[in-house]
Amino acid sequence: ETGVTQTPRHLVMGMTNKKSLKCEQHLGHNAMYWYKQSAKKPLELMFVYNFKEQTENNSVPSRFSPECPNSSHLFLHLHTLQPEDSALYLCASSQGLGDRGFFGPGTRLTVL
Amino acid sequence: QKEVEQNSGPLSVPEGAIASLNCTYSDRGSQSFFWYRQYSGKSPELIMFIYSNGDKEDGRFTAQLNKASQYVSLLIRDSQPSDSATYLCAVNPGGGNKLTFGTGTQLKVEL
């Protein structure tokens, strides 16, 4: 248990659905991240938030929409996804930007 | 050139041997270096971090950093079957606000 939780752990959705992923950290960290992990690829950074302000959007398609209401919570809103978006979505937090990060268990997303 | 490079493996070592995992990086200004272990179907778990040239030891793990040569390595002594996992190298590029990950090296410790 790293102190970072994610829900749901598994999600299957159709291309026309709208769903949201949730991440919560109990570590008192200031920075939070969304990563995508696909088979045989390195972890891809999607979004970075510091003190609930977005500091980086790594050219992510607009069908992924992040939300960070406070330093402890991070959401990823999903709509009209494509099958190639199927992957493990990982949330992480760190004390400061670029510090050692602690990952949540991830959400395994399947888009049909 | 990839920012962080690792041999994908698999690297096979017998139980009790030393496993040596290597990582090279392209940004000379990189300041922070991390090793994560990821079991199949699980999320990455931080096991070591190193900021200064030289060695850093923690139990059976030793991280080695050589900034001049731009490589960082992880040694696992007395390898156990439970060490079988993918090891991810992560680097914070100079002044960066994020970590850049390699593709990982799969380690197999055989009985």
Beta-bridge partner residues of A36: A44, A89
pLDDT band for position A111 (cuts 50, 70, 90): very high
Rounded Cα–Cα distance for residues B71 and B51 (Å): 12
The answer to whether B88 touches B101, Cβ cutoff 8 Å, is yes
C-alpha count within 13 angstroms, C-beta hemisphere, residue B43: 24
Q: Quick one: pLDDT at residue A42?
A: 84
Q: Quick one: pLDDT at residue B12?
A: 97
The answer to whether B91 touches B4, Cβ cutoff 8 Å, is yes
Rounded Cα–Cα distance for residues B63 and B65 (Å): 7
Instruction: Write down the mean pLDDT value for chain B.
Output: 93
Q: Quick one: pLDDT at residue A24?
A: 98
- Checking if the pLDDT of A2 tops 90, the result is no
Among A10, A27, A103, the residue to mutate for chain B (most B Cβ within 10 A):
A103
Q: Quick one: pLDDT at residue B75?
A: 98
Window from A16-30, A44-58, A82-96 with minimum mean pLDDT: A44-58
A40–B102 C-beta distance less than 8 A: no
Amino acid at A13: M
Q: Quick one: pLDDT at residue B1?
A: 62
Count residue pairs from A and B with Cβ separation < 8 A.
54
Instruction: Write down the mean pLDDT value for chain A.
Output: 93
Query: Beta strand pairing status for B32-38 and B45-50?
Result: antiparallel
Mean pLDDT of B72-98: 92
Whose tokens are 């939070």? That residue is A32
Q: Quick one: pLDDT at residue A45?
A: 92
Residue of B nearest to A38 (CA): B103
Q: Quick one: pLDDT at residue B98?
A: 82
- Checking if the pLDDT of A56 tops 90, the result is no
Amino acid at B105: T
Query: Which among B4, B32, B43 has CB closest to A104?
Result: B43
The answer to whether B88 touches B100, Cβ cutoff 8 Å, is no
B8-57 pLDDT, tens digit per residue, is 889 999 999 999 999 999 999 898 999 999 999 899 999 999 998 999 99
Rounded Cα–Cα distance for residues A4 and A23 (Å): 7
Question: Any chain A CB within 8 A of the CB of B42?
Answer: yes
| CA angle, A13 then B98 then A101, to 5° | 75
Q: What torsion, rounded to 10 degrees, do the Cα atoms A27, A28, A29, A32 define?
A: 80
The answer to whether B73 touches B63, Cβ cutoff 8 Å, is yes
Q: Quick one: pLDDT at residue B88?
A: 96
In sequence order, the 6+-apart residues with CB closer than 8 A to the CB of A59 are none
A99–B98 C-beta distance less than 8 A: no
B4–A48 C-beta distance less than 8 A: no
Q: Quick one: pLDDT at residue A99?
A: 85
pLDDT band for position A27 (cuts 50, 70, 90): very high
The answer to whether B72 touches B51, Cβ cutoff 8 Å, is no
Query: Which among A31, A42, A97 has CB closest to B103?
Result: A42
Q: Quick one: pLDDT at residue B82?
A: 97
Nearest by Cα to A97 from B32, B45, B2: B32
Question: Any chain B CB within 8 A of the CB of A57?
Answer: no
A13-24 pLDDT, tens digit per residue, is 998 889 999 999
Amino acid at A94: S
